Amino acid sequence: MEKRAVLGVESSLTSQFWAGQEAKADTVAEIVRTAGVPETVAQLLAVRHVRPENTSFFLQPSFRDHLPDPYILHDMEKAANRITQAILNNEKIGIFGDYDVDGATSSAVISQFLKGAGASIVTRIPEREEGYGPSEAAMREFIGAGVSLAITVDCGTTAFAPLHILTQQGIDVIVIDHHEPDVRLPEVCAVVNPKRFDEPEDNLCRQMAAVGVVFMTVIAVNRLLREKGFYQNRSEPKLMDFLDLVALGTVCDVVALRGLNRLFVKSGLSVMAQRKNKGLCVLSDLANIREKPTAYHLGFVIGPRLNACGRIGNASLGMKLLCAADESEAAEIASRLDELNTVRRQMCEEIYKQAIGQIESAGEQPPFAFVSGQGWHAGVVGIIAGRLKERYHMPALVMAQEGDDLRGSGRSVEGKDLGAAVLAAKEQGLLTAGGGHAMAAGFSLKAEKADAFKNFLQDYFETHCSDEQPAADYMIDAVIDIGAVNGRLLQTLTAMEPFGEGNPEPRFAIPEVAVSSVRIVGTGHVSCSLVSRNGKNYLRAIAFRAADSVIGTSLMKHQGALFHAAGYIRPDTFRGGDNVQFVIEDLAPAG
């Protein structure tokens, strides 16, 4: 099928419709032979650059065959020995985590492990207003609490001054993190971070979320305790029971679901299905998750609810829920999180509308979105920036104003390095704080410098970045005949789960199908049937939240017309059984 203009989602008429990615026939054949999978799955694996010799690791990863020794990470042995010593000597241990889901799950895993080993612990999750990472005030709280060992999780790699406060008092510090390091490391007992410059580029742990690094640390400590006879008179913890939390943090931190991350998530989803964690059970029920959990549920249903507390108040609630000892405690916390998430969503919708109004009232479309509002909540500006970027296909910077101060977050597109632009603006004295990477950045500034900052960005993008707008290319994994879409194919596709970053859900194109039986269902969804050109095959289909979109309008106005449909093959949970439906994500006229 040739490349065509698309009636795109959100009325995007600039998208391009691509007919599948090519995979070498010999590679596909070798995957079929070595892995024993259908050719369709082999094609999907090949375009994801999975080599034939790695297919078993991808499709059926196992701890016995694929988990490396934790000591492959620098400072892991030092960290394991020091934590073991603290447990054996009944020392008080301080845990400091980040306010996002990766931080909450990291804190929960290590806290529950230490509690299970009888350790005395103090935990601290900062509010977003305190800023990212350990603060000097929080470290002084640890000193006042009498800790002799402090462990930072999902943060700490560049927290030189706050951690120095602890080491000056003779308190040992262990950093367990995955964020990019500075050219130097903190002078502490151990820094376990797979992104350290002295770690090899092909380190198996390099792409882990912080919770994965924490899990590796727990494995190392548990092994030492076992060797020292610690479990002779007490039960050894079941480390595999922590994998639901490891999976949750890994998915929500949007790291690539390849290698060990894939092992953690695939195994963790199985653990979650056993409903062992009381907090996750209650939150899942509250979110009406009835089917077997998937990575989608972690990233788009449970994750946002846990993240809400870190965005708009009481950041420690997420970790408390994951560590809840009984259902009544879990139910109370989960209810509060659900309320916060509802408030967060309402807040986002209102700010999003205001931001669109600011952009479109300017008349001509600028090269980037630059909006701010008095009373906007700083905890949600990153979400708004991401939605504006997707809507307008350009960089978006969104700022919350409080008095004379602006706190902002930005999201960018290919070819526009926002992180570099923000750092350059900071060096020019336009920002009071700022940092990030090519596609996302955070920053703070005085309101009086907003116009100067905007002008600086205009000049920076013109002189340092490409003027060409990136095409919103629409990539198709494979073109498939409507007659081949059935329960058997759906079952074979499940072998490729979990889907997510680095392993996207396969997107298919079904060419030349007519549309019939179109109707609006639920809250603005468009249900229809796709019928083959010869009328012999049909397939139930749905376009979610599309009633007011170009796609929905086209489906309703052009019944009987031929289209190329693009989207996903998923189970029809409404009808149950082995029923399959096609989730329409985009359309192109076939005539």
Residue 469, in any domain of the structure: no
> Tell me, what CATH number does 404's domain have?
3.10.310.30
User: Are residues 482 and 444 both part of a single domain?
Assistant: no
Residue 34 falls inside a structural domain: no
Q: Which domain covers residue 161, as residue numbers?
A: 70-334
Is position 131 within any domain?
yes
Same domain, 12 and 139: no
Residues 293 and 157 in one domain: yes
* Residues 6 or more apart in contact with residue 556 via CB below 8 angstroms: 518, 520, 526
Domain membership of residue 43 (yes or no) is no
Where a domain ends, among 415, 444, 464? 464
- For residues 512 and 451, membership in a common domain is answered with no
Whether the Cβ atoms of residue 136 and residue 108 lie closer than 8 Å to each other: no
Cα separation, 17 vs 589, whole angstroms: 11
In this structure, the answer to whether residues 291 and 428 fall within a common structural domain is no
* pTM score: 0.84
Same domain for 142 and 240, yes or no, is: yes
Most confident of 153-157, 243-247, 344-348: 243-247
- pLDDT reported for residue 473: 57
Q: What is the pLDDT of residue 10?
A: 33
For 522-555, how does the pLDDT look when each residue is reduced to its tens digit (9 = 90+)?
888 999 999 998 888 989 999 998 888 888 888 9
Q: Give Dmax over CA atoms of the chain in angstroms.
A: 80
Is 505 in the same domain as 552? yes
Top-confidence residue, 230 or 183: 230
Digit-coded pLDDT (tens) for 383-392: 999 899 988 8
Q: Average pLDDT, stretch 250-268? A: 93
**Same domain? 193 vs 288:** yes
> In this predicted model, what pLDDT tens digit does every residue of 122-135 receive, in sequence order?
999 998 778 778 99
Q: Mean pLDDT over residues 159-182, rounded?
A: 94
Output the DSSP codes for 448-476.
GGHHHHHHHHHHHHHHHS-SSPPP-EE--
464, 490, 511 - which closes a domain: 464
Give yes or no for residue 584 having a pLDDT over 70. yes
Listed in sequence order, the residues at least 6 apart from 100 whose beta carbon sits closer than 8 Å to its beta carbon are 154, 252, 253, 307, 310
- 272-292 residue pLDDT tens: 999 999 999 999 999 999 888
Residues 402 and 530 grouped into a single domain: no
pLDDT tens profile 552-562? 888 998 888 89
Instruction: Kindly state whether residue 352 falls inside one of the protein's structural domains.
Output: no
User: What pLDDT shows up at residue 8?
Assistant: 38
Chain position carrying tokens 């394991």: 80
Q: Is the peptide bond before 498 cis (omega within 30 degrees of 0)?
A: yes
How many structural domains comprise the chain? 3
The C-alpha atoms of residue 251 and residue 304 are separated, in whole angstroms, by 12
Among 433, 464, 495, which residue terminates a domain? 464
- In angstroms, the first-to-last Cα distance of the chain is 12
Residues 444 and 389 occupy one common structural domain? yes
With beta carbons less than 8 A apart as the criterion, state whether 287 and 232 touch. Answer: no
The pair of three-digit structure tokens given for residue 99, joined into one six-digit string: 């306010």
Q: Find, among 513, 519, 529, the residue nearest to 561 by Cα.
A: 513
Pairing of the two strands 433-437 and 440-446? antiparallel
Render pLDDT for 314-343 as a digit per residue (tens, 0 to 9).
889 999 999 998 889 999 999 999 899 889
DSSP line for 327-358: HHHHHHHHHHHHHHHHHHHHHHHHHHHHHHHH
